Every structure is written in structure tokens, then in C-alpha cells.
Amino acid sequence: MDKIGFTYIVDDDPLYNFGTKKLLEFTSFTEEVSFFLNGEAAWKDFEKRNSEGASLPDVILLDINMPIMNGWQFLDLISAAKFTHPVKVFVISSSINQDEMDRANTYPLVVDYITKPMTLDKFKDLKKRILSL
């Protein structure tokens, strides 16, 4: 497989999401992508898919600072959920706060903490890394 099957992008910044959409296209990153502007919308979709037996994301690119439900709250919910599909979460944040990086790495689903901005090279490297996991 040369693409990731299904990806969630969870970020409240429309400009970031627009750029991410273009970078996903340029890198042929994923077969399917869903964008969410906050953790609550992503959680509701995840929970619905899980209860219906629908496909779950293989990868979640998650911002931390968002309205309604932030990334930490989303991580708490998804970490407590019962599901068998392997999900890899990458925290994508503009924060370079070491405490936040350390906190993200306490969640077993979190593979890495990546600082913004996301560039074409970062997406290429991330895709290669995910496909080798």
C-alpha cells in the first residue's frame, strides 16, 4: 500500500486545513480524509463509526488548542473507548512547550508530537514513517 487508508484531520484553523488538504493531495497521503474543526465533532464521528462497525481512521492528525473540545479532551475520550482497529495519533501543534510534548507522549495512541508548520517535506516524511509502522 502506498497510501494511508483513512485519515482524520482535527484542527480549528480553516487556513491550516486548506493547506493540509493541498499537501495531502500533493503527497498522495491518504485514500480518504475527514476534516473536523474541533475534538467534539471528531469524537462524535468516531463514536458513531465505532458503534456501527464502520471504518475507523488509521491516522489522526490532532491539534491541541481548539474550541468546544480540545485535543486533550479528545485524547481522553478516545483512549478510554473500546475498539480494536489500530489508530495512530500524531499531535500537530504550534506549541513548542515541552510540558505539552511530554503530556502528549503519555497517551499510548500518540505516536509523536509534531510542531507546525506542516510542510511538503514533513508530510512526505510522515507518510513514509506511518507506512513503515
* Domain edges within the chain: 4-132
Tell me which residue of 11, 30, 3, 2 sits closest to 114, measured CA to CA: 11
- Per-position b or e across 76-88, b if 16+ CB within 10 A of its CB: ebbeeeeeeeebb
C-alpha cell at 17: 486545513
Assess whether pLDDT exceeds 90 at residue 22.
yes
pLDDT in tens, 76-131: 999 999 999 999 999 999 989 999 999 999 999 999 999 999 999 999 999 999 99
Give dist(CA 120, CA 26) in Å, integer.
8
What's the average model confidence in pLDDT over 57-79?
A: 96
Give the domain 4-132 fold.
Rossmann fold (3.40.50)
